[in-house]
Amino acid sequence: MSDKPFPIPDDVASIEPDDLYERLDAGDSFGVVDTRAPADVDDWRIDGDSVVFANVPYYQFLDGVPESALEELPEARPLYTVCAKGLSSKFVADVLDEAGVDDVVAVEDGMEGWERVLASTELSADTDATVVQFYRPSSGCLSYLVVSDGEAIVVDPLQAFAEEYVAAAEERGAELVAALDTHVHADHISGVRTLAAEYGIDAVVPDAADERGIEYDEAYDTIADEETITVGDVAVEAVHSPGHTSGMTSYLVDDAVLLTGDGLFVESVARPDLEDGDEGAPEAARQLYDTLQDRILALPETTLVAPGHVSDSAEQAADGSFTDTLGSIAAAMPALSRDRESFVEFVLADMPPRPDNYEAIIATNLGQQPLDDDTAAELERGPNNCAATTDAMTGQ
């Protein structure tokens, strides 16, 4: 018996979060019943085109299965129950099973388990390097491993998955030699310092980001605009891309793949208000416009854009990654064809809420406060919200 106001069965059918993601990624149809309170579900849940979703809080089942709750259940099967930690969802799965609802399966460890899922895909790109995109479905965060001739670097690593990046390099016969950030992140805890401290990997931050006042305990290097890092046989060039932040820097891999961080997404553009707030957002948006027009769109149309985040509205490329060519993005995103002031007005008009805990996350990533893994995980929960708007793709 648990200290919760309900029994937690040991024999309820369950599925590991990684296995659930594989089903989601394959496009399998299924139902999800989220048993958390509605306020916890609105912005952060397991969802997708093939998912039939319902939020039926666990407390509706404390005295059995009311007819109203049965009517809310998705008809799709299997029916996966999920909660915060995997406790109330097991209780609900057991109650539903006892009531004769078929094929009900609880998600192990709930949303805490879901946030530990990290998927990976090798990009189909015109480069001698192997570029691996890592995708965290709970937040939409993307990070990258670049491998060439026995060496590897990781770009925008998440602290929670430091071990996975090292293992991924080893699986490809490479030694992870450096960890780079594109900017001071506002939505997740960077893994650059962790990789430096625990694995002896060189930490690298953009020179312009360092000017914000980074205070790492670990030694780190900086990289300036147009400087390169050599990885095996390929060059990775820093492209200063301010707008989202003053230090935002993209990385051009082998003149073929542009790791854009939060400057340009496959379905939207960056929001400009996370460094200097509402007051500084208009000027940052103008800076973003100049970056996109003068630095990013000046590259060949065949350049593969590999962003730092993806929203629920983004579609996967043929290779399973969240990427697209620069030419395709420019053609599909009318916001990129606007004049400067019209672009600024458009970007500022429809920004979503700022990421949860963004100020604390920024302070952590500047090195101003240490965090243990549990506290870091709590800060990161929820949507990333680093794009200006998911409507930029079609906005006129």
Residue 262 vs residues 147, 188, 231, 242, 387: alpha-carbon distances, Å:
22, 12, 23, 10, 7
Sign of CA dihedral 206, 261, 45, 93: negative
For residue 141, indicate whether it is catalytic. no
- Tell me how far apart the alpha carbons of residues 151 and 123 are, in angstroms, rounded to a whole number: 17
- Tell me how far apart the alpha carbons of residues 153 and 172 are, in angstroms, rounded to a whole number: 12
What does the H/E/C string look like for the chain?
A: CCCCCCCCCCCCCEECHHHHHHHHHCCCCEEEEECCCHHHCCCCCCCCCCEEEEECCHHHHCCCCCHHHHHHCCCCCCEEEECCCCCHHHHHHHHHHHCCCCCEEEECCHHHHHCCCCEEEECCCCCCCEEEEEEECCCCEEEEEEEECCEEEEECCEHHHHHHHHHHHHHCCCEEEEEECCCCCCCCCECHHHHHHHHCCEEEEEHHHHCCCCCCCCCCEEECCCCEEEECCEEEEEEECCCCCCCCEEEEECCCEEEEECCECCCCEECCCCCCHHHHHHHHHHHHHHHHHHHHCCCCCCCEEEECECCCCCCCCCCCCCCEEHHHHHHHCHHHHCCHHHHHHHHHHCCCCCCCCHHHHHHHHCCCCCCCHHHHHHHHCCCCCCECCCCCCCCC
* Strand 130-136 relative to strand 221-223, pairing: unpaired
Kindly name the residue from 32, 83, 310, 348 that is annotated as catalytic. Answer: 83
> Which of the residues are catalytic?
83
